[in-house]
């Protein structure tokens, strides 16, 4: 048996130079110039399968799971509630630590598993290992030494057919939070012989040098993608005599198609494989090598391409920069109540529509959680909730987490916050970096939009003539419970008299009682609640419009970057409940994100790339020309304005406490619960998420699961392809909740 280091150095074909998996996937500057025309000419590269080698599933006489590398994330779920801890290396081996019990999830497309072989070492004397496959024991438990060793446990009974699988590694020694063992690789084998080498990229000299994925007879590399319109796979192929290479594609509900079959050739030959017939579908794309045992070759520079020139990034450096930043975060505002995001809405919000017509609209923007505290922490830090650690209802944001107001203050900005939510307060770690700070709930002051916007405008007038740049943050809370609006705003949506058991307002206690089955409501009650919420939006919009007028009067509109978003949405019986903080459906996590500064964000521009609120901080710092905040998880969205292909396929991750995680990637939405259960939705065909496809669409489900695991395991987007685990994780503290604070939060429905 050989170690991972020896597997890396075994030559598959003549090898000129090993290349790292880093940088932009479309970068060709390091490649030799081709001596003949290429099918890539006149096409833009959408996906580089070379750069995404760690996303490929490797099957060679069984499935190889390479722990301690980015390959592991699609099997460990990024470590979220699967028992996998830190990764590391000892100079010859990379590994992942397992905490008492580690779970691996995968889709077995081939079937016939006969045994599980793995390389590991124990961290405690007397350690024993047992395996469970789909809840059934795999062989007897085995002792594990503290030196690296290979163990194999045969699968009992008949070989399992293709299907979803869960493999659990269980150890007997060690505390619940203490690592029990380190695991190098796991091979769920259906054939004989040594385990295969992990997927790697090399420059293969076959006529001309080419970056290539190694191909050996019996080896299949499987990628998952949602096929764009008019797309093609362009690659070079070469191999020894006796090697046969094929490209196959499998979509949900369809048989596997063979798109290309070629025999081994001693020199590179280019092939262009049309994917047009699969456009719009989620596909498993297999690079298959067959033939004489030991025959070897490679897949040279495989790229998914489409017609059109390669887009270039819009440059911000050297362009006029905004002097100020004004961020309006409308607490609890649903995206679909605004006409700029939903043409069918009946909600009256003309100020928002006028602003949207002068701003760039991000149509597929997502919050990274479903309630205020962790969402605002993400906006201010550029970190996902699991990274900054402030997730629970008593969480206190660690002082070690750098925040946007602190960073701008250090760079010469005068900062002010006017906030009407008790969670974004000193008691939870948010009063940092402000020259002027007001929290209306904590100070027991009137918290309606009229007061919030008036105070903010007064502060701006005070700053007139100041040589310093300004950062103003506003968090009005009007759409939040309790729903209570002027009669004129209610009558717009409920003109007939209301005679039900509620009113004249609706509290968070009442909606919570309904959600818990303690309060029965009729159809008129539901119409009344929804009318109140819409009235809240219209009331807020009236004062938002007046605030925009004040910005114009003060001459600030044209010289400021103005950002408008929510922190999360609100469910209005979309899935049978009211409120927020309980699901990861679209009504709670999709955002109305707008940015206005005409030299960079063109008016009435729609951006359809998927972006997240975690991206806002690096974006505004780039636009302001301020030094980036190091170590953030998000990425600036400036590149999307010119259509630049992102480093990884666009996705958005959202978190619900420790209960659920979701990902939006392309048209797919996957929700995974702490139990391991999953729901899958096709948002193009089912935007309201009422048809769960998890059981009927295995290719789509696996495609989304690969990206969810990667995002959870490597949250820093800039390093996601090469990072072996999360970059860092802060520990949230516990807030001290005195009786006054509890009363204030109870009024907002947070404590029932």
Residue 50 lies in a domain: yes
Q: Please tell me whether residues 289 and 359 are part of one structural domain.
A: no
Q: Please tell me whether residues 291 and 349 are part of one structural domain.
A: no
- The band of 565, judged by pLDDT with boundaries at 50, 70 and 90, is very high
Contact 119, 94 (CB under 8 A): no
Q: Does residue 523 carry a pLDDT above 60?
A: yes
How high is the pLDDT of residue 478? 95
**How far, CA to CA in Å, does 527 sit from each of 420, 505, 523, 554?**
27, 13, 6, 41
- The band of 639, judged by pLDDT with boundaries at 50, 70 and 90, is confident
Joined tokens for residue 736: 């001290």
How high is the pLDDT of residue 585? 98
Q: Please tell me whether residues 506 and 445 are part of one structural domain.
A: yes
How high is the pLDDT of residue 411? 98
Q: How many domains does the chain have?
A: 3
Q: Please tell me whether residues 238 and 119 are part of one structural domain.
A: no
- The band of 648, judged by pLDDT with boundaries at 50, 70 and 90, is low
Q: What is the pLDDT of residues 173-189, one digit of tens each?
A: 766 678 999 999 999 99
Summarize the confidence of residues 483-490 as an average pLDDT: 96
Joined tokens for residue 153: 């446990």
Q: Please tell me whether residues 221 and 118 are part of one structural domain.
A: no
Q: How far apart are CA 327 and CA 454, in angstroms?
A: 15
> Domain containing 150 — which CATH number?
2.60.120.260
Q: What is the pLDDT of residues 696-724, one digit of tens each?
A: 999 999 999 999 999 999 999 988 766 54
**What's the chain's length in residues?**
752
Last residue of a domain, one of 278, 307, 336: 307
How high is the pLDDT of residue 746? 63
Last residue of a domain, one of 307, 341, 374: 307
Q: What is the pLDDT of residues 375-425, one digit of tens each?
A: 999 999 999 999 999 999 999 999 999 999 999 999 999 999 999 999 999
Q: How far apart are CA 113 and CA 684, in angstroms?
A: 36
How high is the pLDDT of residue 173? 74
Joined tokens for residue 103: 């779970």
- The band of 14, judged by pLDDT with boundaries at 50, 70 and 90, is very low
693 bridge partner residues:
none
| Backbone region of residue 135 per phi and psi (left: phi > 0; alpha: psi in -120 to 50; beta: other values) | left
Q: Please tell me whether residues 47 and 79 are part of one structural domain.
A: no
Residue 194 lies in a domain: no
Q: Please tell me whether residues 16 and 88 are part of one structural domain.
A: no
Summarize the confidence of residues 490-498 as an average pLDDT: 96
Question: What is the b/e burial string over 370-405, where b = at least 16 CB atoms within 10 angstroms of the residue's CB?
Answer: bbbbbbbbbbbbbbbbbbbbbbeeebbbbeebbbbb
Q: Please tell me whether residues 249 and 379 are part of one structural domain.
A: no
Q: Which of 42-46, 520-524, 625-629 has the lowest mean pLDDT?
A: 42-46
Q: Please tell me whether residues 43 and 136 are part of one structural domain.
A: no
The fraction of the chain above a pLDDT of 90, given in percent, is 78
Last residue of a domain, one of 126, 159, 189: 189
Residue 406 lies in a domain: yes
How high is the pLDDT of residue 311? 61
How high is the pLDDT of residue 11? 31
Q: Does residue 22 carry a pLDDT above 80?
A: no
Summarize the confidence of residues 45-55 as an average pLDDT: 89
Residue 314 lies in a domain: no
From the list 354, 350, 359, the residue with the least C-alpha distance to 542 is 350
Q: Does residue 731 carry a pLDDT above 80?
A: no
Q: How far apart are CA 713 and CA 691, in angstroms?
A: 28
Domain that holds residue 285: 4-27+35-56+202-307
Q: Please tell me whether residues 46 and 138 are part of one structural domain.
A: no
Residue 319 lies in a domain: no
Q: Please tell me whether residues 685 and 582 are part of one structural domain.
A: yes
Question: What Rg value do the Cα atoms of the chain yield, rounded?
Answer: 28
Q: Does residue 15 carry a pLDDT above 50?
A: no
Summarize the confidence of residues 560-570 as an average pLDDT: 98
Joined tokens for residue 169: 């590694």
pTM over 0.85: yes
Q: Please tell me whether residues 383 and 298 are part of one structural domain.
A: no
Summarize the confidence of residues 483-512 as an average pLDDT: 95
> Domain containing 50 — which CATH number?
2.60.120
Mean pLDDT (the chain, rounded): 89
Q: How far apart are CA 529 and CA 504, in angstroms?
A: 10
660 bridge partner residues:
656, 673
Q: How far apart are CA 13 and CA 544, in angstroms?
A: 66
How high is the pLDDT of residue 208? 82
**How far, CA to CA in Å, does 81 sit from each of 27, 187, 367, 619, 693?**
36, 22, 22, 31, 23
């Amino acid at each position: 048996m050989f170690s991972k280091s020896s597997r890396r150095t075994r030559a598959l074909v003549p090898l000129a130079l090993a290349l790292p998996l880093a940088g932009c996937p479309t970068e060709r500057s390091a490649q030799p110039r081709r001596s003949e025309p290429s099918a890539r000419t006149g096409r833009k590269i959408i996906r580089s399968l070379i750069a995404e080698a760690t996303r490929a599933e490797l099957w060679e006489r069984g499935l190889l799971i390479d722990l301690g590398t980015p390959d592991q994330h699609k099997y460990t779920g990024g470590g979220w509630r699967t028992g996998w801890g830190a990764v590391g290396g000892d100079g010859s081996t990379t590994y992942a630590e397992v905490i008492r019990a580690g779970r691996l999830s995968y889709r077995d497309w081939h079937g016939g598993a006969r045994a599980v072989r793995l390389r590991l070492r124990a961290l405690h004397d007397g350690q024993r290992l047992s395996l469970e496959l789909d809840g059934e024991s795999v062989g007897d438990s085995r002792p594990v030494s503290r030196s690296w060793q290979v163990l194999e446990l045969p699968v009992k009974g008949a070989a399992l057919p293709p299907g979803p699988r869960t493999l659990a590694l269980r150890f007997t020694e060690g505390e619940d939070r203490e690592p029990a063992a380190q695991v190098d690789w796991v091979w769920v084998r259906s054939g004989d012989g040594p385990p295969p080498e992990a997927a790697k990229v090399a420059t293969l000299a076959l006529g001309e040098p080419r970056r290539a994925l190694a191909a050996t007879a019996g080896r299949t590399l499987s990628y998952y993608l949602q096929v764009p319109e008019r797309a093609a796979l362009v690659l070079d192929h070469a191999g020894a005599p006796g090697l046969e290479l094929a490209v196959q594609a499998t979509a949900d509900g369809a048989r596997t198609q063979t798109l290309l079959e070629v025999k081994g050739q001693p020199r590179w030959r280019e092939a262009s494989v049309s994917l047009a017939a699969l456009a719009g579908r989620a596909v498993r794309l297999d690079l298959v090598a067959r033939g004489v045992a030991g025959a070897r070759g490679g897949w040279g520079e495989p790229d998914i391409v489409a017609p059109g020139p390669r887009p270039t990034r819009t440059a911000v450096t050297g362009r006029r920069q905004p002097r100020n930043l004004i961020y309006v975060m409308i607490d609890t505002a649903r995206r679909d109540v605004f006409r700029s995001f939903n043409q069918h809405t009946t909600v009256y919000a003309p100020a928002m529509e006028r602003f949207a017509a002068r701003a760039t609209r991000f149509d597929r923007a997502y919050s990274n959680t479903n309630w205020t505290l962790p969402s605002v922490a993400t906006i201010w830090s550029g970190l996902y909730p699991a990274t900054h650690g402030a997730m629970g209802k008593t969480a206190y944001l660690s002082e070690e987490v750098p925040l946007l107001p602190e960073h701008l203050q250090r760079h010469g900005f005068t900062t002010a916050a006017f906030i009407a939510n008790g969670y974004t307060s000193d008691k939870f770690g948010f009063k940092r970096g402000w020259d002027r700070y007001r929290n209306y709930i904590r100070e027991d002051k009137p918290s309606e939009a009229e007061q919030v916007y008036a105070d903010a405008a007064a502060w701006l007038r005070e700053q007139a003539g100041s040589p310093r740049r300004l950062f103003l943050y506003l968090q009005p809370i009007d759409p939040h419970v309790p729903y209570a609006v002027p009669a004129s705003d209610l009558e717009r949506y409920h003109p007939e008299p209301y005679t039900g058991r509620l009113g004249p307002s609706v509290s968070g206690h009442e909606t919570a009682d309904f959600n818990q089955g303690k309060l029965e409501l009729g159809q008129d009650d539901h119409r009344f609640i929804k009318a109140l919420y819409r009235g809240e939006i219209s009331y807020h919009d009236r004062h938002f419009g007046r605030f925009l007028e004040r910005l114009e009067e003060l001459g600030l509109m044209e010289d400021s970057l103005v950002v408008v978003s929510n922190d999360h949405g609100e469910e209005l019986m979309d899935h049978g409940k009211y409120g927020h903080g309980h699901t990861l459906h679209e009504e709670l996590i999709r955002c109305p994100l707008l940015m206005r500064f005409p030299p960079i964000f063109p008016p009435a521009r729609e951006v359809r790339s998927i972006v997240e609120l975690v991206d806002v901080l690096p974006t505004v710092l780039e636009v302001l020309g301020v030094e980036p905040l190091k170590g953030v998880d998000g990425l600036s969205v400036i590149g999307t304005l010119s259509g630049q292909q992102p480093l990884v396929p666009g996705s958005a991750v959202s978190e619900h406490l420790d209960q659920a995680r979701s990902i939006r990637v392309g048209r797919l939405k996957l929700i995974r619960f702490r139990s391991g259960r999953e729901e899958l939705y096709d948002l193009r065909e089912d935007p309201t998420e009422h048809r769960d496809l998890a059981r009927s669409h295995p290719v789509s489900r696996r495609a989304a699961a690969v990206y969810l695991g990667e995002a959870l395991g490597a949250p820093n987007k800039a390093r996601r392809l090469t990072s072996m685990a999360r970059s860092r994780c802060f520990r949230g503290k516990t807030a001290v909740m005195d009786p006054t604070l509890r009363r204030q939060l109870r009024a907002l429905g947070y404590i029932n």
